[in-house]
Structure 1
């Protein structure tokens, strides 16, 4: 049996770096920005749901920069995913999986990662990143969007789901990257 790759191990056993975490945040910004721009041009129902992340990510990245950290350029996983979303009509599947995954597992991963790299203690002074905050009741925001998505996607197949997990997983693995 081969040893598990870093991204296959439990989050509690990851060995993240601040540089990797910043890469993850930057690439996440690229993906969320793309989704939010597409929604602005395609579907009124999914605008201003309260799940939007770009403004919050921008605040977090600004804060890191003010603290003296170099903000990296977006990398291939985020850029490739954003490019795919722009060209893909079935982006609604990705919209659903990205926002719902971030609101559930993403918050847990964010807390674990910041705890593991001691960001919460040494760097953030116990500050919770804006990326993991929502205005309003998150459960209700999610339910409102879920109801709209269920109406839009009635009868669709689940082909895009596998691509969603593959591409968003590539962005997530940036947390484990080394400079």
Structure 2
């Protein structure tokens, strides 16, 4: 019996669990850590990406146009429509955890586009960046919940942070400081975000390490698609 207990003890000490950046605080912190590394130094202190595109520079260097901003809003609405439809239909039970979080943006964007139309602007049809991203979200949502959750997290949380900064700067430059509904939330935003963090951490508790890593690996694709939509502001 003594030798058996020694073997069990040795096996537990010889294979320590690998620690992942941010993992001690929950899986959302791991996702945040990976996402921040994909920012440039101008965008975030933790950023490591080299500046290659105009929209990767700090916001004051931007020269947005109304036409470009409308393209951005229309494509953004298509993406949020798609995300919220997927969550509502819940092909995987975990998606249902993220219904009615208070972070939803589709209805807010619909109100903003209606306001632009009332001002006499022609609302464009969705363009290639938004259509491509929406189709990709539909594709992965039916077969790859970990990948989909990565896009869900990055889309909503990025908009609540850097997205708000961009919205404020654009409003100053071309909208006479009008604050769009896209940048307003019903209730305390920090609490809404924390509620979703808690749900994400809870969902990820049932994932294997490989599934978590797969989710993290999808971050770069999320940034690629969202970056293409963001560039529409400068078109």
Q: So what's the TM-score if we normalise by structure 2?
A: 0.69
For 2:112 and 2:103, locate their aligned partners in 1 and report how far apart those are by CA, in whole Å: 16
- Alignment partner for residue 158 of structure 2, among 101, 116, 120? 101
Report 1:74-153 matches (<5 A).
74-88=126-140, 89=144, 90-117=147-174, 119=175, 121=176, 126-153=177-204
For 2:171 and 2:231, locate their aligned partners in 1 and report how far apart those are by CA, in whole Å: 15
Deviations 1:51-92 (A, max 9, x none): 000000000000000110010110011100000000012211
- Alignment partner for residue 88 of structure 2, among 40, 43, 62? 40
How far residue 4 of structure 1 moved from its aligned partner, in angstroms, is 5.2
Q: Which consecutive unaligned segments of at least 5 residues does structure 2 have?
A: 1-50
Specify the SS of the correspondent of 2:200: helix
For 1:54 and 1:170, locate their aligned partners in 2 and report how far apart those are by CA, in whole Å: 19
Considering only CA atoms, is the larger Rg found in Structure 1 or Structure 2? 2
- Alignment partner for residue 230 of structure 2, among 172, 175, 179? 172
For 1:100 and 1:134, locate their aligned partners in 2 and report how far apart those are by CA, in whole Å: 13
1:30 aligns with 2:78: yes
> With CA pairs under 8 Å and 6+ residues apart, which has the higher RCO, 1 or 2?
1
Report 1:65-80 matches (<5 A).
65-80=117-132
- Residue of structure 1 equivalent to 2:58: 10
- Residue of structure 1 equivalent to 2:26: none
Q: Which consecutive unaligned segments of at least 5 residues does structure 1 have?
A: none
- Residue of structure 1 equivalent to 2:116: 64
C-alpha root-mean-square deviation of aligned residues, in Å? 1.3
Aligned length: 169
